[in-house]
Amino acid sequence: MNTKTLFKWSLLGLMLVTLQGCQIIRLHQFKNQLNDLKQHVTFSTHRLILNHPILEPTDILYITKTEPSDIIPTEETITWQYHLIKQTDATDTQPVHLSFELLFNNQQLHQVTYPKEIAELFSDYLIQLGFESVSKGTYLAKNNVLIPGEPDDYIINKQDLPTQQHVIAQLGPPTEMTTNATNNVITYVYRYTVKNDQEKKSTPWIAFEFNHDTHFLQSVSGTLFGPHLSFGFE
């Protein structure tokens, strides 16, 4: 390898390291913002408005590992849409599909619209507790797993958690349902396929675990938002 070629490869390597370093800084800054949700995030129905945008499109691809279904550009903004198609069988005659919408302004994420079906299941304070848990969590990039931490004011009224009937009313019948007699748990699993042009399709899922006797929700987990997340309710 001659000196000129070596210089080109070294320059390319330096650019990649620099770009990756900038991304790590942005992700860390965003995580810190979640520690002060009132200042940095505004909740509006099934929409999150980021008051001090940091994340860029490449950061979203890094987090979700998934290309959008549609990209809608305007003069000032770009909207990414993710369409999650429910995996069903013939008995599910009216499958409930889910959609996410990300609005970028000047290449920075300003707004996230998440499925209204999810918003109907979890009240605003539960959504905020979820974000606070994420801000105190640990991200394992190798496995794309985020282990949530515990918020400072971790108080949940179990009556506010969705029941089995609520989940079915919003999401339809589960793709899979299992019963574990040993742990006294009933699990509803909903599986989806992201509609896009990727050769290897992304297949996010969400699972609800209910206590068989009390019927209270014990945990919710899944990969709807990219990394694997799991929240338990004591």
Reading the block at residue 222, the tokens are 């899944």
Reading the block at residue 149, the tokens are 């931490």
Indicate if the pLDDT at residue 6 is higher than 90: no
Residue type, 64: T
pLDDT-derived band at 183, boundaries 50, 70, 90: confident
42 forms bridges with which residues in the sheet? Answer: 49
Predicted pLDDT at 2: 53
Mean pLDDT of 29-58: 84
Q: Assign residue 222 a region: left if phi > 0, alpha if psi is -120 to 50, beta otherwise? A: left
Weakest-pLDDT range from 39-48, 86-95, 178-187 = 39-48
pLDDT-derived band at 16, boundaries 50, 70, 90: very low
Share of the chain above pLDDT 70, in %: 90
Residue type, 114: Y
The number of distinct structural domains making up the chain is: 1
Q: pTM value?
A: 0.83
Indicate if the pLDDT at residue 10 is higher than 50: no
The range of the structural domain enclosing residue 73 comes to 3-232
